[in-house]
Structure 1
Amino acid sequence: MASIAKRPDGRWRARYRDDAGKEHARHFSRKFDAQRWLDEVTTAVVTGTYVDPSAGKITFSRFYADWSVRQLWVASTRDNADRTIKAVPFGDLPMKTIRRSHVEAWVKSMSVDGLAATTIKTKFVILRSVFRAAVKDKVIAADPADGVVLPRARKPEAAMRVPNVEEVGRLLACADSGRVSSRKGFRPYVALCAFAGLRLGEASGLQVTDIDFLRRELKVSRQIQRDGRGYMVAPPKYGSERVVSLPDELLALLSEHVKSLTDETPEPWLFSIDGLPMHDNAVTWRWRATRKSAGLEWVRLHDLRHFYASGLIADGCSVVTVQRALGHATATTTLSTYAHLWPTAGDQTRKAAAGLMRAALAPPADSLRTAEP
């Protein structure tokens, strides 16, 4: 229901009632402007894009607080989202007053502060999920983050640094320190990252019973995460629960490590400190000491996962095989990360042609016999 009426002061009053029966009104100097406003409201109602003007008065932080408690997030996702939203400069602004310029300024400030493009994208995705939820809840009419340009990430082939076999050997040799007793037993940890492709949290979450020495397999079914108060045991990243086939050499190293454990609990942690699983801080300083001893301070622990992937690819493993070994949710993730390591069509063509040429030029089997006069 809508109407336009002229007031005693000469202005035109346009009003309508929404689906809840609440009346909304605005005053205009011209009847044409009043009619245009009503037409816009009517169009929004018909198309399903109508938003109650009062709904957008809720602040960004308040809307996030109400919305986030309903999300099915693991602890690490919630912690990451909370930190991101807490840092936005427009948290106290009403939702309806936030403009694209606010989001652009926020993205620019993170770039100026030196955050990596991938980190900025992760934070932006969290922010945009809030705005999209607000649109669906009819709190705002449009997403102010739509169309915001993000910093361009470096191509994987340019950003990725993969240690070679000799460098990984040096890291393994330096992982156990004879001078620092608290670093003893760290070599198997490093080996699991390099030859099983485990992430830091996955290696920290391993228990002895996860290793099947008979089948030569390792079950990845949990990880150690921060939870804001300390550390917690959680499932692996989505799609990352898997069984990894282990080489005999790694099994032998793990066997020796298991023999050295003194923990008498039914399912002792494979790597522990005072009976608790080794968390990321404890791993980080051990890794820094290891790479410093090896003279390879540029190598990140995650680079050992890249080393593992590159080895599988170089040995001819398919995309799906690499995906399952690494615990990627989809083959698309594997390709977007490691596509540059797979042989190109030119490489495959050259190799196939070389095989054909060698076969064609090889002497026939009976050519070794003495030709008849």
Structure 2
Amino acid sequence: MAGTRRRQAGEGGISEYQTKAGPRFLIKYAAQRADGTKRVVLKRGFRTRREAAAVLRAEIRKTEMGEWVDPSKQRLDAYLAEWMAAQRLHPSTMSSYRRNIRLHIDPYLGAQSVARLTGPMVDAWMRELEASGRADGAGGLSARTVRYVFTILRAALSDAVRQGRLAVNPTDRATPPSASEARPPEMQAWTAAELARFMRWVDADDPDSAMGWRLLAATGMRCGEALALRWRDVDLDAARPQVRRSVGTVKDKGAGQRLVEGPTKTGQSRVIDLDAGTVAALRRYRAAREHVSVDLVRDSALVLSGLDGSHRHPERFSRRFTAQVVRARRALGEEQLPAIRLHDLRHTHATLLLADGVPVKVVSERLGHANATITLTVYQHVHPGMGREAADRFAALLEG
């Protein structure tokens, strides 16, 4: 190309070649292996000369700094360990990523070199997970889990492309389970009458637990947010708790479980208005706790702590709710109270408000969703009836 400076020794080179999709560029440079020997590296598939030049500069710099890794030699498991060490994620997310890499990626693809991974390999891996991927040997993983693990691998290999380790991400040429196939289980929600029926029963059966269930149902808080709430966050006079943080379970191989407090799911705090009945229940609950120990009602104390002041374990808290629903159904009659999960109290809160005509933006803010579109997407099942009502109102306007 006229006017282009000739590259000097050690600077590598860029060449253009033709494909059915149009011109592409490859880079060529010399690098030294860990054993001292040298090899010539070729990387293909760059769409522009500028993109190729940027990767070439990065690779040359790695060779000069002694940071270059032979792309044909580095195993996927080694790369993923290196990639995870550089991530800045919530502790529970880090724990989840590590667990899924350890159980569902490394045993299947870990020995493959990063540079030799292909789309068909990734497809075959996902089909194997669906057929027999459970760690306990009891069958395959759900489409939802396979898609989640796929997104971890995709993110890791996307960074490899960005860093110049790969020219093409093999997951771009693979077909994971679709979003519709990976839909979460259908949510359940109680009617207002069913919720009231349960709360009356649990108030009489276990007042301490009742406060937790009432707080979740009345605010739409996530379980981890409620379990991280402290008395200094609750303004009873203004009837407003401020949701600032969340507690979650982190599982580390060989180290068991630990509870970690961190930010809310969106990283944002929010204030939720409380109804008078829930405020009154909180005052009674606080007085009862103070009678047990003044330490349980200090500003820094957790509202829903155990009697020793420590965090309640989210998973045990959830199981406690499930057990109480089972007992309540026996006492009240199964037809009077459908079985739901603890998280469904959040769905119940949102569904009742939306069905009663509360604006989506208000409900979204109470739930702590990043935006109202998420609320509309999650609770679209609430809207067909509301849409019919809107259509009838519009017709009435025309007739009037």
Please indicate the TM-score interval, normalised by the length of the shorter structure.
Answer: 0.7 to 0.9
**1:103-122 deviation per Cα after TM superposition (whole angstroms, max 9, x unaligned):** 22333344344544443333
Cα drift, residue 333 of structure 1: 1.5
* Distance in structure 1 (CA, Å) of the matches to 2:45 and 2:317: 61
> Could you tell which deviates more after superposition, 50-59 or 324-333?
50-59
Match of 1:225 in 2: 248
* Distance in structure 2 (CA, Å) of the matches to 1:184 and 1:42: 65
Cα drift, residue 329 of structure 1: 1.3
1:275 and 2:317 are equivalent in the alignment: no
> Could you tell which deviates more after superposition, 233-242 or 321-330?
233-242
Cα drift, residue 84 of structure 1: 1.4
SS of aligned partner of 1:322: helix
TM-score by length of 2: 0.73
Match of 1:210 in 2: 233
* Distance in structure 2 (CA, Å) of the matches to 1:303 and 1:254: 22
Pick from 88, 99, 107 the counterpart of residue 72 of structure 1: 88
Match of 1:188 in 2: 211
* Distance in structure 1 (CA, Å) of the matches to 2:294 and 2:102: 43
Pick from 380, 383, 396 the counterpart of residue 339 of structure 1: 380
Q: Answer whether contact 1:239 1:329 (CA < 8 A) is retained.
A: no
1:264 and 2:280 are equivalent in the alignment: no
Match of 1:175 in 2: 202
> Could you tell which deviates more after superposition, 186-195 or 315-324?
315-324
> Tell me, which stretches of 5 or more residues in structure 1 are unaligned?
3-15, 26-37, 361-373
Q: Answer whether contact 1:117 1:152 (CA < 8 A) is retained.
A: no
Q: Answer whether contact 2:243 2:271 (CA < 8 A) is retained.
A: yes
Match of 2:170 in 1: 144
Q: Percent identity?
A: 27
Pick from 314, 322, 326 the counterpart of residue 363 of structure 2: 322
Match of 2:192 in 1: 165
Over 3 Å counting, the alpha-carbon distance change for 1:93 and 1:154 in structure 2 is closer
Q: Answer whether contact 2:30 2:40 (CA < 8 A) is retained.
A: no
What is the identity, as a one-letter code, of the residue corresponding to 1:164? T
Over 3 Å counting, the alpha-carbon distance change for 1:105 and 1:298 in structure 2 is farther
**1:191-243 deviation per Cα after TM superposition (whole angstroms, max 9, x unaligned):** 11211101111111111222111211111111111122311222111245211
Q: Answer whether contact 1:288 1:297 (CA < 8 A) is retained.
A: no
Pick from 341, 344, 351 the counterpart of residue 303 of structure 1: 344
TM-score by length of 1: 0.78
Over 3 Å counting, the alpha-carbon distance change for 1:17 and 1:149 in structure 2 is closer
SS of aligned partner of 1:106: helix
1:238 and 2:254 are equivalent in the alignment: no
SS of aligned partner of 1:24: strand
Match of 1:255 in 2: 283
Cα drift, residue 330 of structure 1: 2.1
What is the identity, as a one-letter code, of the residue corresponding to 1:272? S
Cα drift, residue 171 of structure 1: 2.8
Match of 1:5 in 2: none
What is the RMSD of the two structures over their aligned residues, measured on CA atoms? 3.1
* Distance in structure 2 (CA, Å) of the matches to 1:114 and 1:356: 56
Over 3 Å counting, the alpha-carbon distance change for 1:306 and 1:116 in structure 2 is farther
Rg larger for = 1
Pairs aligned (count) = 329
Q: Answer whether contact 1:175 1:190 (CA < 8 A) is retained.
A: no
> Tell me, which stretches of 5 or more residues in structure 2 are unaligned?
1-11, 14-26, 33-37, 60-68, 132-138, 252-256, 330-336
* Distance in structure 1 (CA, Å) of the matches to 2:158 and 2:143: 22
* Distance in structure 1 (CA, Å) of the matches to 2:112 and 2:271: 48
* Distance in structure 2 (CA, Å) of the matches to 1:278 and 1:19: 57
What is the identity, as a one-letter code, of the residue corresponding to 2:262? A
The within-5 A match list for 1:51-70 is: 54-70=70-86
Q: Answer whether contact 1:242 1:324 (CA < 8 A) is retained.
A: yes
SS of aligned partner of 2:208: coil
